[in-house]
Amino acid sequence: MHAANKALSSADSRERLKASVTVVVTDYAKARFGYAGNTRLRIYRDGRVREQTEDMSLGTELVKTRNLPEDALARHEQRNNLHTYLGQGKVFHPFVSNKIKLTNGDVFVLYTRGIWENLDGGELDDVFSEAKDEPQECLDNVEDLLLSRQPGDLENYTCAAVFVNKIFLDPDRRRRIRKMIAMSVAAFVAAAVISLVVWLLYLQRRMRIDNMERRYTDTIEYIQDDNYLRAKEECSEALKSAEKLKDKKRIQEISRYQKLIEAVNAADEAFGSKKYEPAQSAYVTAKERSRYADRIADDYIDRQLKSITDYLSVFDYIQLGDTLAAAGDYDRAEEKYLQAKNLATRVYFEDGRKDAMDALEAMYSSRDKAEEADTQEAKARASSETGAAALAAEGDKAFAEGDYEGAKTYYAMALEKYRQLGDSAHASLIETKMASSGDKAAAGKEKEQLAEGYVTAGREQEAAGDKLEAKKQYLFAKNLYKELKMDHRVLEVDGLIEVLETSITQQKEQESREAEAAEGKIQEEEREDSQEAANVAREIGPGV
């Protein structure tokens, strides 16, 4: 039909060539028809009209919109004003029917407007509803009806009838249907199995990812809680999950945390065995590892290093007191022993406290046996030393409370007094503490800036949709703020984490609902396919 349309529209003619056409094709078991224009087709089955065409004209549209009777179209002034016809050109859109299954006794009637303008549909129905086995008889009856009307403007009239006496029955049809059903069922089962396997694999991988991320997060939280034994267990499981998933990025990150945890545990073991100098070296090594793990353990390591420094200071005070007592300087020796005792008490170092008390008792025994020196001079010196010691103690207290600038001020005043006393040993110790206070003050500023950076990074990761990475950054920031004792900032970060965890929970619930909806849809499709197969079986049943 498209080829004919193209041929007419591109024909070399003085007048525009146009035509209406109806085409019926059949393989003797099924038929399809197509038409354009106002030629008509009626298909009769058991004496009733099964299919009929409608004119592609403006008149047909007007009859429909105005609810006019069908016979009014035969004389309507717009009946030949066609909107689709052969020779129309590029906008040609003919009607093509679906396949029609033929049965014995079907009748196809094709006719032009010379027929339908003078005979209505009911008259044609009467003729072909009583049709027998001879098409010519029906056509003669139609012509007799037409001529009996004696129309004054009768134009060319054409009517063709095709009787379907016997349709073609394929002897292999039953076998082919069974084969098609079997193939369809096999394809459906295969597709269902593949879909199920893919879904299960996806679900398994999703569970492994969730398990890895959960254990990874637990590892970070245990480290922040200073529970490195449990952190080691969770980190080991997280690493196993990452290796199964072959996630190279996570393997590298978790491996760094594992090395850090191992280094800290080794240092803790040495510290617990009272091997303070090896433990100090081990903690320094662990802090190097912490550089590659977002410095998450710096606070804990610094506290442990400080404890070791205090323990060693206790021993240094006792040793210095021993030296002074041996030189007969019992007041200063007492001061050192007291400093050792006070420091040991403050840091809960029971062994050091006991050693300091024993040293004090031994010193008091020796002083009682020694001769009194110049009382006034001794008192003045003792007063200076006591003042210096008090200032140093205040500096220690400020240092312990994190007030490093205040500690520097007290240490500076104590240093001046020790220099006036000529106590180079104490002066050197105070200088070391002053330097440490300065370093701590600078480090505090750096940590505050680093914490702000973690908060910013967390917000960026949250905006990018990586909520777990955002939570990790927030936890890092919280850890630093806790170390800096910035409680208001800790509360702000806690609020961010709480909002983020709520979002993660809602996302997981949404994914769960989507998974359930997908499963329900698959089950519904399976039921529909099963019903369709059952319908096909019932349809072919009578033929069997």
pLDDT tens readout for residues 253-307 = 888 888 889 999 998 888 888 888 888 889 899 888 888 888 888 888 888 888 8
| pLDDT value of position 131 | 80
Confidence of residue 25 (pLDDT cuts 50, 70, 90): very high
Question: With left for phi above 0 and alpha for psi between -120 and 50, is residue 69 left, alpha or beta?
Answer: beta
pLDDT at residue 423 is higher than 80: no
| pLDDT value of position 5 | 92
The mean per-residue pLDDT over the stretch 21-31 comes to 93
The mean per-residue pLDDT over the stretch 5-10 comes to 90
* Cβ-contact 123, 149 below 8 angstroms: no
The pair of structure tokens assigned to 3 is 């080829």
| pLDDT value of position 380 | 65
| pLDDT value of position 536 | 67
Instruction: State the span(s) of the chain assigned CATH 3.60.40.10.
Output: 2-163
If DSSP codes are grouped into helix, strand and coil, which group holds residue 23? Answer: strand
| pLDDT value of position 107 | 93
The mean per-residue pLDDT over the stretch 382-388 comes to 73
| pLDDT value of position 379 | 64
* Cβ-contact 267, 228 below 8 angstroms: no
Per the document, the length of the chain is 544
pLDDT at residue 544 is higher than 50: no
Does the pTM surpass 0.75? The reply is no
Model confidence pLDDT, tens digit, residues 436-446: 777 776 777 77
Confidence of residue 543 (pLDDT cuts 50, 70, 90): very low
| pLDDT value of position 111 | 92
Confidence of residue 100 (pLDDT cuts 50, 70, 90): very high
Burial of 534 (0-12, 13-18, 19+ CB in 10 A): exposed
pLDDT at residue 318 is higher than 90: no
Confidence of residue 20 (pLDDT cuts 50, 70, 90): very high
Contacts of residue 537, Cβ cutoff 8 Å, sequence gap at least 6: 181
pLDDT at residue 475 is higher than 80: yes
Angle subtended at Cα 513 by Cα 507 and Cα 516, rounded to the nearest 5 degrees: 145
Q: Residue 395: how many CB atoms within 10 A of its CB? A: 26
pLDDT at residue 542 is higher than 60: no
Distance (Å, rounded) from C-alpha 341 to C-alpha 357?
Answer: 7
As assigned by CATH, the class of the 2-163 domain is: alpha beta
State percent of the chain over pLDDT 70.
Answer: 93
Amino acid at 533: A
Across the chain, mean pLDDT equals 83
Expressed in percent and rounded to 5, the helix, strand and coil fractions of the chain are 70, 10, 20
pLDDT at residue 161 is higher than 90: yes
| pLDDT value of position 30 | 93
* Cβ-contact 43, 103 below 8 angstroms: no
| pLDDT value of position 71 | 64
Which residue has better confidence, 136 or 482?
136
| pLDDT value of position 541 | 57
